[in-house]
Amino acid sequence: MAASGSPVSALATSLRCLAFELLRVFAAPSLRIQIFSGLTTRNILLFPPSLSSLSLSQISPFWFVRSFTPASAMAASSSSPEAAPTGPADAISRDRILSSNLYFDVPPSKVPVIYSSSYDIAFFGIEKLHPFDSSKWGRICQFLIKEGFLDKKQTVEPLEASKDDLLVVHSESYLSSLKSSLNVAIIIEVPPVSLLPNCLVQNKVLYPFRKQVGGSILAAKLAKERGWAINIGGGFHHCSAEKGGGFCAYADISLCIQFAFVLLNISRVMIIDLDAHQGNGHEIDFSNDRRVYILDMYNAGIYPFDFEAKRYIDQKVELASGTKTKEYLDKLDEALKVARNNFNPELVVYNAGTDILDGDPLGRLKISPDGVMTRDEKVFRFAREKNIPLLMLTSGGYMKSSARVIADSIINLSKKNLIALDSPLGRK
């Protein structure tokens, strides 16, 4: 966040005031504005008036543009209420996966922790207009290295996902829409980005995202080989094949799973999404794909309010704002027990958002740092008990303290012998 009294802070405060007044004045059941760009009209759904009672400190300007859907995708969705499963449904998509360079052999001297310094996002301080700590990925690694639990030379640097890689899930029209800085600004919820040249947006924003996508995809391969893998990034669970939003421009979870289906010879994947927000992106993408089982435990009173996507959750655990640590962990225990009985996966994709932390401005839950560590430990034990490869993505988290908590949780997993940061081959 911007320092108090800085120009960036003043701008953010002004925009919050504007957002608050708009919410207070326009009390309609739902608001839809139109943004004209060239010859096309793009529709943006605003939040319902129930949020108008929030305090000023809880309102941020980017909430007015929480998601973006290209016009072609909106037309397709309106004419086809039940979309076909996203992924390599034909020979072209399969060939794209088989010709990709994102899977590569990792030497035994490396641990299955994936990170690149390119993950962090910084462009003239504008990124501070969003509460997400866009430098948290690097700070997680710094904490792990400082504590002596990780050697930077042992981490794995992924490749950037190419256009052909992204086309395995995304459409040409969606990827083309990202050539508009306005569209990217809507997706990442930072309005001033719309004023920047797209070449700068590609380099400073979308390139880091594409590197993280490459990390998520590679994590599945390493998890299958080593038993576990952690991508210090990724978890863009609000993005689907045709729609970005909520700071998520690429559907890395969907891409990771589609690559795994083809290259790892697996046919059953469980997504355990414990970010505070509903994972509507992957839920839409796998709406008709019974190979994927989704356990989603989230605060039902916050974004994205995606009621269509909720229909595709196999196991839904909805929480109320203010849920505390004990209740949260009790519900998680029960949910994992049910999931264990319902589905037998060959791979677990764990979306481990830390926006559940007490004090997070967007997650609005009250989970302690120790509670987050216990949560992660429970999920890793769930996979270990069934000898299922697991990959972890760090996903959301909107406080500076999130990086420290994630690092502490990874250290705890190592101390509990659920992962082995000191062993070149990990721990199966």
In the block, tokens 């995304």 appear at 170
300, 322 Cβ separation under 8 angstroms: no
301, 365 Cβ separation under 8 angstroms: no
The tokens for 64 are: 């007015």
What is the bridge-based pairing of β-strands 32-37 and 40-45? Answer: antiparallel
* Number of Cβ within a 10 Å radius of residue 1: 16
Crossing angle (nearest 10°) for helices 401-415 and 136-146: 40
Active site residue 130: no
Which one from 237, 238, 277, 282 is the annotated catalytic residue?
238
**Is the CA virtual torsion 217, 218, 219, 223 positive or negative?**
positive
Instruction: Please list the residues that pair with 349 across neighbouring strands.
Output: 271, 391
Give the count of alpha carbons within 13 A of 419, CB side only.
26
In angstroms, the CA 193 to CA 357 distance is 28
Cα 313 to chain centroid, rounded: 17
The set of catalytic residues is: 238
